[in-house]
Copies of this chain bind each other. A is one copy, B any other.
Amino acid sequence: MIETAKELEVYLRPHMKTHKTLEIGEMMAPSKSKISVSTLAELEFFADGGFDDILLAIPITKDKLTRLKFVHERKNISILINTVEAIDILDSSDRPFNVLIEVSTGYERTGIYVEEYQKIAKILEKLLASPNRLTFKGLYNHCGHTYLGEKERDETKRTKIEAMNRETVSKLVELRDYLERQFESSAPIFIGTGSTPGCGYPVDEFKQLDELHPGNYCFYDYCQETLGSCRTTDIAAFVLSRVNSVFEDYIVIDAGFLAISKDSPELNFGKVLAPNDDMFITGMSQEAGKLKMKSEETDLRTRFKVGDYVKIAPAHSCFTAALHPEFALFENGKFIKKISPCRGW
């Protein structure tokens, strides 16, 4: 992804939410600068870990302010807002925050639809009237719609995602140009977007952006594989476990939904790589996963035994990783060390 951003001549602001560790954070942002985080806990963790220029990529609310300001005293923090009221919330800070307006080019969550020029202009108008407190930086977009629906992940997915990317750029550029015309006093307005599927199919038009901010690509997962963002061999996070019971037509492993998560039942929660890649997860309870063969089999008791090694590529590594108090880090098949993600909010 570092190479992709370099070729496109845009900044890369990797999101830390998938792994939440200092070690992988440094792989994604070797300068330990310019990252995104999804919780105040991550903000504090990465700030304490030596990172700077951190974007808190959730809408600011009043209850977050005390902890936010405490970190902001020693680090450069950027904040997302999506209302005029949020400006008043940030009012009381002595040190000006960098502020981005969160917009949406298609994904329905916390961004204001880019088409709502008047609503966005009103926020910017108020922002620019508060030059001592807040520094307006630009427009932030999460192109979450590039994840597509389950049934849209067919052979045309590349075409679809590339079209979404072009549309996203064109909408952001149009909005930026409009705002720059309306508010000549504003400094140049940065525009950025990000999602691992979107950045997995980079288009030439991305050169018109200032920043990309994907996150999941540190691990990828089986969902990303179905989207074509990666191949199986690119996936870098696995649940390792063992078989604890073997029955005629199913086996049970020592990993249930607290190790794997219940994300993406339509993808059977993940891709089983061992003890046999012809297996799938048919059900889970808290600490037990039930695996069956995809193809017809006579008797699994002749093929598998208690203690057999299990390796599963999760359907959604962001969820699965967050369930684990530590990760075992491997390089070229060799165990390096255990690392601990941050947790909570």
Contact = CB atoms under 8 A, between A and B. Distances in A.
B144 A285 contact: yes
B244 A61 contact: yes
A58 B307 contact: no
Interface string A31-50: 00000001100000000000
Contact of A306 (B83, B242, B306, B326): B83
Given A252-B109, A257-B263, A39 B287 contact: yes
A288 interface: yes
A287 B343 CA distance: 12
Interface stretch (A124-132, A221-229, A316-324): A316-324
Contacts of A323: 322-323
A73 B252 CA distance: 29
A325 B307 contact: no
B245 A288 contact: no
A106 interface: no
Interface in A226-280: 242-245, 250, 252, 254, 257-259, 261-263, 265
Interface residues of A, number: 47
A345 B241 CA distance: 11
Contacts of A82: 245
A57 B38 CA distance: 36
A148 B249 CA distance: 22
A265 B262 CA distance: 10
Contacts of A287: 17, 38-39, 58, 345
A53 to B, nearest CB: 20
Contacts of A288: 58, 109-110
A318 B284 CA distance: 13
Contact of A286 (B63, B243, B318, B343): B318
Contacts of A286: 17, 38, 318-319, 322
18 contacts: A17-B287, A39-B287, A58-B254, A58-B287, A59-B252, A61-B242, A61-B307, A62-B307, A83-B306, A85-B306, A110-B244, A110-B252, A110-B288, A258-B319, A286-B319, A287-B345, A324-B344, A325-B343
Given A58-B254, A83-B306, 17 more contacts: A39-B287, A58-B244, A58-B287, A59-B244, A61-B244, A61-B254, A62-B307, A83-B245, A86-B306, A108-B290, A109-B285, A109-B288, A110-B244, A262-B263, A286-B322, A322-B323, A325-B343
